[in-house]
DNA sequence: GATGCTATTGAGTGTGCGACCAATAAGCAA
DNA sequence: TTGCTTATTGGTCGCACACTCAATAGCATC
């Protein structure tokens, strides 16, 4: 008779239920942080009992790692999707760098800071972070190599160029959780400057393009 | 008569006791992480009761912030001490950058990652992080300005040059908790390259010097 | 419609945390 | 020596967490 109690059980296909759990966990990871990905929290969001989450993830650490992996993969796809043939590599790179400037990118920075810190205590998560790192690096590296192939980019070490861009992005994202004093324009432009320098592009090539 | 029980009370000067607590908390913060700075943990290290820590720090968050501040200040003093007059700014800067390459620096990177992440949930800590950030920036900026004054460095924006160096250091330190694949030499040299570029120094000027 | 598999629940265990507070004793001052 | 201030103790409370496991019920299969 109590109003808020839902006694009806909904039995789902294990694969679908698992995906549902991972999605909910990833959402929590993005909005609240990885330490908020708990059995109780995820169960509450899905209106099930905590024990059910344990059934799919015998160790909570596995769920946290999965949540991070899912969230990071999703953000990578939004930030740096596969390049359609009609986009020139330089244009695609410019779009990517433009997306890393907005406040929207802070969410991603927060997630990475979170994961890199929590990796200190969670070996399973640490492995997942390493995996995601190589995924992000790999996708940017592919774009760089594509640009070299078309002749737009010039570098004798695509890996070094790629990693240098990522290091700068990591450095700029480090402050996503703290109120940062207004930064000089030269600092805000560091990703573009670095990319243009390492890829042999004339200054200004990677600035925001229309559309 | 029980062997492990210490019933004797040691009453100390409040200022001394407080300093003792902060020191112990800073040590835990550096070695184990800020989330291990708990009333119980610090009390155990000092062989006192948790209630005593509460007496000096009514809120545990205050202790965590203090622990970070103490640890960060100590590390800054080791890493970038005040420049003695007999040291040329370029030589002092070269020493600083050399110290940021060793594995010893990983401890500092870990502390900063830790603090920047935990800032998300702890407003008191967040303020302390902002304070420490300006302290680190201030000290490096002073060194840069000194070099400009002596004519060794050339830049029209000392702040931008300073922050760019720090951003690169932050970016490289982001991986302190994860096993990082061997990085290209160009990446490892980024701090030196950035400093030389932004300060108008000939390449190689800031490489490791003898002594 | 009956049966069997298993997804899901409900209840309970143990741990570590911050916070709170009355009782106690150390050491200084009168 | 006596008395007072307060640093320090010991104990307790409530909360949130992961983890365990027997009981239950949804649903596909026969």
**pLDDT for A166:** 98
- Give the number of domains in chain A: 1
Assess if residue B121 is contained within a domain: yes
Q: How many residues does chain A have?
A: 211
Report residue B154's pLDDT band, with 50, 70 and 90 as the boundaries.
very high
Q: State the nearest residue by CA to the C1' of D7.
A: B11
Which of A116, A121, A190 lies nearest to residue B164, judging by beta carbons? A190
**Distance, CA of A123 to C1' of C29, in Å:** 59
Which of B133, B163, B175 lies nearest to residue A184, judging by beta carbons? B163
**Distance, CA of B54 to C1' of C17, in Å:** 13
> In sequence order, what DSSP letters do the residues of chain B get, joined into one string?
--SS---------HHHHHHHHHHHHHHHHHHT-GGG--HHHHHHHHTS-HHHHHHH-SSHHHHHHHHHHHHHHHHHHHHSPPPPTTS-HHHHHHHHHHHTTSTHHHHHHHHHHHHHHHTTT-HHHHHHHHHHHHHHHHHHHHHHHHHHHHTS---S-HHHHHHHHHHHHHHHHTTTTS-PPPPPHHHHTHHHHHHHHHTTPPTTTTSPPP-
In 3-state terms, chain B is what percent helix, strand and coil (to 5)? 65, 0, 35
Report residue B6's pLDDT band, with 50, 70 and 90 as the boundaries.
low
CB atoms within 10 A of CB A165: 26
Cα distance from A124 to chain B (closest Cα, Å)? Answer: 11
C-alpha distance from residue B144 to each of B40, B81, B116 (Å): 43, 14, 25
Cα distance from B178 to chain A (closest Cα, Å)? Answer: 6
**pLDDT for B19:** 98
Q: How many residues does chain B have?
A: 211
Assess if residue A58 is contained within a domain: no
In order along its 211 residues, chain A shows pLDDT tens digits of 433 455 689 999 999 999 999 999 999 999 999 999 999 999 999 999 999 999 999 999 999 999 999 999 999 999 999 999 999 999 999 999 999 998 899 999 999 999 999 999 999 999 999 999 999 999 999 999 999 999 999 999 999 999 999 999 999 999 999 988 899 999 999 999 999 999 999 999 999 765 4
Could B164 and A117 be called an inter-chain contact, meaning their C-beta atoms sit closer than 8 Å?
no
Could B170 and A169 be called an inter-chain contact, meaning their C-beta atoms sit closer than 8 Å?
no
Is strand D in 7 Å reach of the CB of A14?
no
pLDDT digits (tens, 9 = 90+) for B157-205: 999 999 999 999 999 999 999 988 899 999 999 999 999 999 999 999 9
Domain containing A155: what range?
68-198
**Distance, CA of B49 to C1' of D10, in Å:** 9
Query: How far is it, in rounded angstroms, from Cα B111 to Cα A208?
Result: 36
Assess if residue A89 is contained within a domain: yes
CATH for B97 = 1.10.357.10
Mark the nucleotides of strand C covered by protein, meaning any atom under 7 Å from a CB.
6-12, 16-22, 25-27
Assess if residue A79 is contained within a domain: yes
Which of A133, A157, A190 lies nearest to residue B186, judging by beta carbons? A157
Query: How far is it, in rounded angstroms, from Cα A102 to Cα B190?
Result: 25
The answer to whether residues A89 and A83 touch, using CB atoms and an 8 Å cutoff, is yes
**Distance, CA of A64 to C1' of D24, in Å:** 29
Is strand D in 7 Å reach of the CB of B14?
yes
Assess if residue A149 is contained within a domain: yes
Average pLDDT for B128-148: 98
Query: How far is it, in rounded angstroms, from Cα B97 to Cα B115?
Result: 22
Instruction: Please check the confidence at residue B32 and state whether its pLDDT lies above 60.
Output: yes
Query: How far is it, in rounded angstroms, from Cα A134 to Cα B59?
Result: 41
Assess if residue B8 is contained within a domain: no
**Distance, CA of A121 to C1' of C5, in Å:** 39
**pLDDT for A1:** 40
CB contact burial B123-135 (16+ within 10 A = b; e otherwise): ebbbebbbebbee
The answer to whether residues B147 and B93 touch, using CB atoms and an 8 Å cutoff, is yes
Residues 52-91 of B with CB under 7 A from strand D: 52, 55
Rounded mean pLDDT of chain B? 95
Average pLDDT for B115-121: 98
User: Residue B26 contacts by C-beta under 8 Å, 6 or more apart in sequence?
Assistant: B67, B68, B70, B71, B74
Instruction: Please check the confidence at residue B128 and state whether its pLDDT lies above 60.
Output: yes
Is strand C in 7 Å reach of the CB of A48?
yes
The answer to whether residues A102 and A132 touch, using CB atoms and an 8 Å cutoff, is no
pLDDT digits (tens, 9 = 90+) for B79-108: 999 999 999 999 999 999 999 998 899 999
Mark the nucleotides of strand D covered by protein, meaning any atom under 7 Å from a CB.
6-11, 16-22, 25-27
- Calculate ∠ Cα A31-A32-A37, nearest 5°: 115
**pLDDT for B93:** 98
Residue B148: both structure tokens together: 């400009």
Is strand D in 7 Å reach of the CB of B117?
no
CATH for A189 = 1.10.357
**Distance, CA of A14 to C1' of C3, in Å:** 22
Task: Please report residues of B whose CB lies closer than 8 A to that of A110.
Answer: 120
Assess if residue A22 is contained within a domain: no
Instruction: Give the residue from A139, A126, A122 showing the smallest Cα distance to A73.
Output: A139
**pLDDT for B8:** 80
Which of B134, B159, B178 lies nearest to residue A119, judging by beta carbons? B178
- B12: helix, strand or coil: coil
The answer to whether residues B161 and B50 touch, using CB atoms and an 8 Å cutoff, is no
Query: How far is it, in rounded angstroms, from Cα A77 to Cα B26?
Result: 40
Which of A120, A130, A172 lies nearest to residue B110, judging by beta carbons? A120
Assess if residue A211 is contained within a domain: no
Three-class SS of chain A: CCCCCCCCCCCCCHHHHHHHHHHHHHHHHHHCCHHHCCHHHHHHHHCCCHHHHHHHCCCHHHHHHHHHHHHHHHHHHHHCCCCCCCCCHHHHHHHHHHHCCCCHHHHHHHHHHHHHHHCCCCHHHHHHHHHHHHHHHHHHHHHHHHHHHHCCCCCCCHHHHHHHHHHHHHHHHCCCCCCCCCCCHHHHCHHHHHHHHHCCCCCCCCCCCCC
Could B116 and A178 be called an inter-chain contact, meaning their C-beta atoms sit closer than 8 Å?
yes
- Location of structure tokens 């990446």: B187
Could A169 and B172 be called an inter-chain contact, meaning their C-beta atoms sit closer than 8 Å?
no
In chain A, whose CA is at the least distance from the CA of B111?
A117
The answer to whether residues B200 and B135 touch, using CB atoms and an 8 Å cutoff, is no
């Amino acid at each position: 008779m109590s109003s808020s109690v839902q006694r009806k059980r909904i039995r789902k296909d294990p694969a679908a239920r698992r995906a549902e759990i991972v999605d909910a966990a990833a959402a929590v990871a993005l909005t609240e942080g990885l330490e908020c990905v708990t059995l109780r929290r995820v169960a509450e969001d899905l209106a099930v009992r905590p024990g059910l989450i344990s059934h799919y993830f015998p160790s909570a650490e596995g769920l946290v790692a999965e949540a991070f992996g899912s969230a990071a993969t999703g953000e990578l796809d939004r930030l740096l999707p596969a390049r359609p043939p009609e986009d020139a590599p330089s244009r695609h790179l410019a779009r990517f760098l433009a997306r890393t400037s907005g406040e929207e990118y802070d969410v991603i920075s927060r997630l990475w800071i979170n994961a890199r810190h929590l990796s200190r205590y969670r070996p399973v998560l640490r492995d997942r972070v390493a995996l995601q790192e190589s995924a992000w690096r790999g996708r940017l590296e592919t774009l760089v190599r594509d640009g070299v192939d078309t002749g737009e980019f010039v570098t004798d070490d695509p890996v070094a160029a790629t990693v240098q861009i990522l290091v700068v992005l990591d450095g700029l994202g480090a402050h996503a959780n703290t109120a940062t004093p207004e930064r000089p324009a030269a600092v805000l432009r560091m990703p573009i400057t670095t990319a243009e320098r390492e890829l042999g592009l004339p200054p200004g090539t990677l600035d925001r393009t229309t559309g």
